Structure 1
């Protein structure tokens, strides 16, 4: 199984013609981002597609649903697809629904979204993200049991933050691993979704837990015969990235953190592959 690492454009201030060549040089296989309309500096769909195609990168789309009802979230997902499909995504991630949705509404929403996915022919994964339906392990489990076609973008940093601990729910994590389409390799801790530095020894326990969950995903994917696994080291800018009080100076360089985490993931995957 091949590892492909994507670079998110979240928090990247540079124009595409500056940052994309730099990311290619750093060894990234693709770009993950929302539609061009959500990017800074007046980027157009043609600009984004041109940068991706020029450098032979894969594109992983990030989409967002909104509204007050299931019908409105479905309609907003269709509108998001209209914006990202011209970019030829290999996979589509989605922040879907709201955490306040009753279970019945959540189930109804995902039944509609998987029908849309089936017509697309492109895998769609729904992110385990705060404020969304899959913000905690238990709601996620309940929906996945009812709608087995649902795939996930697994970002377990949010679950650690929401639970205020490293969750010990092996059956839920096994189910999530089975449904994982894409992985966000950020590390969360009890008081937040992003540690200050993934290499900091004070977060060794959190790093070990996340890496164990990621390897569980890889094992399931390899057992299933998948040829590629995709990962984004999705560390984000302030306020995800901690800052000093008053000056708001970031405590770390975001690009350095993302690049180091990409290296960590490559080494972890290589070590796991040698044992698998």
Structure 2
């Protein structure tokens, strides 16, 4: 099985696409996870630089935010169709709202499944605060209703919501892991979705919990004879990355933190890669 590491555009928007993709290529990433720019000139630049640097693209959806459900549904459809038409490797979608009803979020999930089937581009739904998948119990209901529902696992969000390392929710966590097709290797903790630096010894407990979950995901894909598993190193900028007061300087270097995660997992799974 091949494990491919991706870097998000999020947190790197200060770089041009040319500089960003070259830096990603030189760091050993296989590709980029990013939303589709609305501006056509930027779209052309993005695809040109991805091709030039031989990088794959995971499409990302997060923009649909209107609280009016019918408007939200229409906007979600427009954005997903634009993404699938651009032919990403697959789409990672932050879907729905935690305040939408179960039936409303179900309509969004069903719409995504319909679009995915029509075009042949997989759509995975990220475990994310504020979305239908904001916590373990809410997500479990949808996983039980939709046997084909696949997740992008970002368990850092669930640590934050549950204010724990999910020790008392193992059964639901196992279900989510069984449905995980892609994951984000960000480390959360009971007080937030991102530790300030995963290399620091005080965050070893947090890192170890996440490593245990990721190991199970990797081993499951291996047992199921998957050809490829994708991982995005997705530590993010402020407000995810804490800043020093007054100076507003980041506590840790974001690029180096994500690179540490990539190198750590590459070494950990070297026998597979």
TM-score, scaled to structure 2: 0.93
Shift of 1:143: 0.9
Give the whole-Å Cα distance in 2 for the aligned partners of 1:263 and 1:87.
30
1:56 corresponds to: 54
Give the whole-Å Cα distance in 2 for the aligned partners of 1:92 and 1:73.
18
1:154 corresponds to: 153
Task: Provide the secondary structure at the position in 2 that maps to 1:7.
Answer: strand
Once the two structures are overlaid, the 10-residue window that deviates more, 99-108 or 166-175, is 99-108
Matched, 1:189 2:189: yes
2:215 corresponds to: 215
Give the whole-Å Cα distance in 2 for the aligned partners of 1:245 and 1:83.
40
CA deviations on 1:91-147 (whole Å, 9 max, x unpaired) are 100011001122232223322321221112111111101111101011001111011
Task: Provide the secondary structure at the position in 2 that maps to 1:122.
Answer: coil
Is contact 1:95-1:127 (8 Å) kept? yes
Is contact 2:77-2:111 (8 Å) kept? no
Runs of 4+ in 1 over 6 A off after TM superposition: none
Is contact 1:107-1:147 (8 Å) kept? no
2:233 corresponds to: 233
1:29 corresponds to: 30
1:44 corresponds to: 42
> Where does structure 1 lack aligned partners over 5 or more consecutive residues?
none
2:103 corresponds to: 104
TM-score, scaled to structure 1: 0.92
Q: CA RMSD in A?
A: 1.8
Is contact 2:80-2:112 (8 Å) kept? no
Distance 1:269 1:73, change over 3 A: farther
Matched, 1:19 2:28: no
2:266 corresponds to: 266
Is contact 1:74-1:113 (8 Å) kept? no
Q: How does 1:49-128 map to 2 (within 5 A)?
A: 49-64=47-62, 65-68=64-67, 70-128=69-127
Is contact 1:70-1:109 (8 Å) kept? no
Shift of 1:210: 0.5
Shift of 1:69: 5.0
Is contact 1:58-1:90 (8 Å) kept? yes
Is contact 2:84-2:121 (8 Å) kept? no
Task: Provide the secondary structure at the position in 1 that maps to 2:217.
Answer: helix
Once the two structures are overlaid, the 10-residue window that deviates more, 133-142 or 260-269, is 260-269
